[in-house]
Each structure stands twice: as structure tokens, then as C-alpha cells.
Amino acid sequence: MSLARLSLVGLLGLAACGGSNSSSLGATPATLDNSAIGTFGTFVALSARMGAGARFGPFLNLVSPSVLQQTGCLSGNATFTLSATGAGPVTGNANYASFDNCYFLPLNGTATVTGTLAGAAQVDSFTLEFANLAYSPTGSSQVFRASGKMVISWKPSVQGSAGYLMTLDAAVSDENQKPVFRLDGFRIDSDLAAGIENMLVSGRLTTDRGFVDVSSTNRLELSFPSHGFGSGSLDITGASQVATLTYIGEGTFTAQIRPKA
């Protein structure tokens, strides 16, 4: 068993460069060493921030009979032009304009929308399909470009005032269109309360090192605003090993590696 303390913030720039000359993503389970754990741990946390950073609802502002909008926690807007703004099924488009939802990842881009409103300007469940959502981390020249699908459904909260379920199936590339990682069935189960998202995360994450399966062992705290998980733990499972990552402060975790059962 090995123990490594790694910084998500410190590793972000390194991991985003891929760590190798490969331009394609792996198709086999990853071998977990300290370097790989740093990369996967960074991208799991980044994926959670990207999902939470694109979150909207459940209540939106009515701008006009066909337009709903949410103002970002730190900046920008997410605007939805829809076939209707009352209860029932809707179709339309979403536009993110420098939308920073408290996670220092301003978001720009457009998506098509299908879904259901639970009431006037109240989101029940929306599916967004997109080809080029661009996340630009504050204070960095990096850009992460996502293409794929996001489904968000609002639910009664277990721990707070509201909760949502989000599933991401998306490919993420860098500013040069080089593949960085892919998410398959990456699920966020979040309760919002008192300035904190309490999250469970699960799903598959693939890089040029191969893929890992991710699952939370307890809820992770993502404060808003913040740059990453403040506490909680999760498991990443590779080819023959399992690493338990325990978050001990914003952007920092410890990792314990054990053989896969």
C-alpha cells in the first residue's frame, strides 16, 4: 500500500497536457501509480466542477414569453430560448455567456435543449446536447472544450433546500483540440445547502492512460465559491488496483492504493 499527498490545483496544468505524446484515449483499464492517480484525481474533481459549473435551475428568471435566464454566481448568464415557459414539455436552445457558477470556470457556448418544465420557469428535467462548450479556468490560459450530452433533473433534497441529479457523457479536449479525457455515464447526485454542494459521484473516466471507474464512498463537499472538493472521499478502480482518494482541503487529497479484489 502506498500513500501520496497530491495537489489538484498544482497538477491541473500538468495533467491537462496529457502526460504523454499520445493523441488518443486509452481503451483498457488504467494502471494506477502515483502519477496516474494524480491525473485521474484531478480530472474527477474538474469534471464535478464542470458539471456544477453548468448547472441551472430549478427556478429561472422569466425574461420574455419565450426566454428564461439564470445569472451566474460570479458572472455571466445562461439563457434558454424555449418553445414555452410554462409547465410541460419544451424544446429550444441554451446559450452560456461567460457563465461562472461559483467554481472559477467561466463557460461559453451553445446547446440544444429538450425537456420538461415543472411549472412556470421551473426546471424539472432538461437534456442539453452540445458540440463546443468552452470552460476557461480563471487565472489560466487553458481552455477545456466539451462535446456531448448533459442531463439534469431536480429532486427533493436529502440534506438541504434543493437537489439535482446530473449525468454527463462527454469528450473533453484542450485549446488545441487534443483529447484530454472522456466521461461515460458520469453521474453527480448533489444536495445544496448553506453554500455547499454535498455530492456523490460515479461513472467512467478515460484518459490516454486508460480508463478508471469512479464511485464515492461518502459525500464530497464542494463549497461555492471554491476551486475543488473540501472533504469527502471516492474510489477509482483501475486494471488491478483501487485507489481511495480522501480530500483534506480545497484542491488537496491523500491517496491510498490497494489491490483490486
Domain hosting 141: range is 3-259
What is the C-alpha to C-alpha distance for residues 226 and 17, in angstroms, rounded to an integer? Answer: 23
Query: Is residue 11 over pLDDT 80?
Result: no
Mean pLDDT of 30-47: 93
What is the C-alpha to C-alpha distance for residues 142 and 123, in angstroms, rounded to an integer? Answer: 32
Burial class (CB in 10 A: 0-12, 13-18, 19+), 177: exposed
Torsion of CA 121, 125, 127, 132, to 10 degrees: 60
Domain count, the chain: 1
What is the C-alpha to C-alpha distance for residues 141 and 175, in angstroms, rounded to an integer? Answer: 9
Query: Is residue 1 over pLDDT 70?
Result: no
Counting residues of the chain whose pLDDT is more than 90, the rounded percentage is: 80
Task: Report residue 24 as a C-alpha cell.
Answer: 488518443
Residue in the block written with cell 459549473:
53
Question: Which has the higher per-residue pLDDT, 184 or 3?
Answer: 184
Q: What is the mean pLDDT of the chain?
A: 90
Q: Are 164 and 157 in contact (CB under 8 A)?
A: no
Query: Is residue 101 over pLDDT 50?
Result: yes
pLDDT tens track for 118-173: 999 999 999 999 999 999 999 999 999 999 999 999 997 666 678 999 999 999 99
With cut-offs at 50, 70 and 90, classify the pLDDT of residue 249: confident
pLDDT tens track for 209-238: 999 999 997 899 999 899 999 999 999 999
Query: Is residue 15 over pLDDT 50?
Result: no
Residue 171 vs residues 16, 20, 21, 132, 252: alpha-carbon distances, Å = 13, 18, 18, 10, 25
Query: Is residue 63 over pLDDT 80?
Result: yes
Residue 156 vs residues 153, 164, 169, 194: alpha-carbon distances, Å = 10, 8, 24, 16
Q: Are 59 and 122 in contact (CB under 8 A)?
A: yes
What is the C-alpha to C-alpha distance for residues 141 and 98, in angstroms, rounded to an integer? Answer: 15
Report the pLDDT value the prediction gives residue 218, as an integer from 0 to 100: 86
Residue 129 vs residues 19, 54, 236: alpha-carbon distances, Å = 29, 12, 27
SS3 14: helix
What is the C-alpha to C-alpha distance for residues 147 and 64, in angstroms, rounded to an integer? Answer: 29
With cut-offs at 50, 70 and 90, classify the pLDDT of residue 17: very low
What is the C-alpha to C-alpha distance for residues 7 and 107, in angstroms, rounded to an integer? Answer: 24
